[in-house]
A and B are shown apart, each in its own frame.
Chain A
Amino acid sequence: MNTLSWQTYLPDFWLALAQTLYMVAIAGPCIIIVGLAVGTTLYLTAPHSLSPKPVFYYLLTTVVNMGRSIPFLILIVLLIPITRALVGTTLGPAAAIIPLVLGFSPFFSRLVEAALRELDQGRIDAARTMGVSKTQFVFRVLLPESFSGLLNAITIILVGTVEGTAVAGAVGAGGVGDFAIEFGYQRFYGELMFISVLAMVIIVQLIQLTGDVWIRARKHKR
């Protein structure tokens, strides 16, 4: 039996929570930026799109598909040399950011590409008959008109990233997932397992709710 009360480990829980939030706060925006860039490039270079480059599109698609097909846990291991070179260590929350970004950007790129494809041909034609340049098309038509769909994609990927931090936690990244395994499972503190799960649920709910409320507030703009 446990001789110490579960409350003894609460400070460790708060630290783990901070680590999870730190990983999402750094990796999340990086994934969003990389994914928007890659997703927009996929959209523009696809056959019959605005700047069709079939060979380039095929290569980029292959890279994205490869990124998506490697299980996240294996990706973390595969990236150990790169992580060590860039961060100096393979342990801790900062080290988890590299695999998080590389692991979740490919999926997010696909979500971005799909959201951009929702823009109907009519609005594309209208923009072209006004004489927009390609850059203006991307930043003043394509991305703003797809914003609701992109918000939805961002919500999905941030929730995914939270789950990713838990997996990364299992191989030494810290965070709530790691805490749950170490204290809740291996040391048999059911209470700690419970508050860990509760914390994850709350984080995910907050992200999802923010996304939903924001999208609903834009209902006239769709």
Chain B
Amino acid sequence: MNEPIFRLSRVTKLFDDNAAPVLALDGVDLDVARGSFLGIVGTSGAGKSTLLRVLNLLDTPSSGTIEFNGRNLAELNAKGQREYLSKVATIFQHFNLFHGKTVFDNITFPLAIRGVPFKERAERARALINRVGLEGREGHYPSQLSGGQKQRVGIARALITRPEVLLCDEATSALDSQTTQTILDLLAELKQLYGFTVILITHSWEVIRYACDAAVLLEHGKVTEAGLLREVIQRERSVLKDHILPLNGDAAWQKGPDTLDLIFENPETQTDLLAKVANALSMDFSILSGRVDNVGKRPIARFKVRFRPRHPPAMVDVEQVKRLLAEAMSAVTL
């Protein structure tokens, strides 16, 4: 039942057609859970785009296998590929709409090339056009639309074949931050409605924090960290966590036996526990750094806290503090 929608095993991609060969993907192992909103993040050149391009068949892996619903992509014939591409659709950073076609013709193009009759195309398009908020724009050409509207057309065009997976190739990177939010909200709403899986590649931690429920960190063509965000932020040491909930300035580097790095999932009710626990152990504490971020629209607080014994000969036992805090927090959460 809980079989992953995508399973990548030791996928490599070597570009060796010029003087300096590039190993864009270096043995990627990755399971994508059905229904997730997965963000693949990394610096430019980390292999994100290549990873997406092997998923939408624009490139073929040099080695390794990609399975979609248990089916090896390498075994698909032309007909199978076309069917696959109706289940796995892509939206792009620069939208890539057809300039010579109207909004309506752009959106229905994937159906037109599959021979779907005009009447059915029009019906399916009408529902989607309303969903993405493009009413009255059907007859316009892409050059008459704003960036956000163009991406709405891109989304409708991708969803017209009712795909199981929507691949987003830096889909909001060309948009301002407000439009980015409305597009991400729209994706979340449509995902809720149609139940597809989203795989989004981005270099923006903002996007990961705002929209995703799982993240994959790609570095030099390798997956260096992956997980659900709510698990990632509980990890002791994690590059993903440090980017999703960054600590500012010097505090990030402060370490010591008396210093604790704390995550509060319900900051409103949990933060006052710090004082209670410190009191119980007769300690004082100072907050070196702290912030609250919305992760997937839920506020999460991260604090760097230093404890000091009220009666100097006594020592700070961070393990004891952690244990007491954990007990207190779980009591509150329950």
Contacts and interface: CB of A to CB of B under 8 A. Distances in A.
A144 B84 CA distance: 26
Q: Is the interface of B mostly helix, strand, loop or mixed?
A: mixed
B85 A130 contact: yes
Contact of A130 (B99, B109, B143): B109
Interface string A40-58: 0000000000000000000
Interface in B94-136: 94, 96-101, 109-110, 112-114
A122 interface: yes
Interface residues of B, number: 29
A147 B100 CA distance: 8
B255 interface: no
* Most chain B CB neighbours (cut-off 10 Å) among A123, A128, A131, A144: A131
A80 B44 CA distance: 61
A220 to B, nearest CB: 4
Contact of A220 (B78, B97, B143): B143
A186 B321 CA distance: 112
A129 B101 contact: no
B99 A132 contact: no
A128 B58 contact: yes
Contacts of B204: none
A140 B99 CA distance: 12
B326 interface: no
B234 interface: no
A128 B94 contact: no
Q: Is the interface of A mostly helix, strand, loop or mixed?
A: helix
Interface string B190-233: 00000000000000000000000000000000000000000000
B143 A125 contact: no
B113 A136 contact: yes
Contact of B57 (A122, A129, A144, A219): A129
Contacts of B112: 140
B89 A129 contact: yes
B81 interface: yes
B92 A144 contact: no
Ranked nearest first, the 5 interchain pairs of A and B with the lowest CB-CB distance are A131-B85, A126-B96, A131-B82, A122-B96, A220-B141
Interface of B: 56-58, 78, 81-86, 89-90, 92, 94, 96-101, 109-110, 112-114, 141, 143-144, 157
Interface of A: 122-123, 125-133, 136, 140-141, 144-145, 147, 218-222
16 contacts: A123-B97, A123-B98, A126-B97, A126-B98, A129-B57, A129-B89, A130-B85, A130-B157, A132-B113, A133-B78, A133-B82, A133-B113, A136-B113, A145-B100, A220-B141, A222-B100
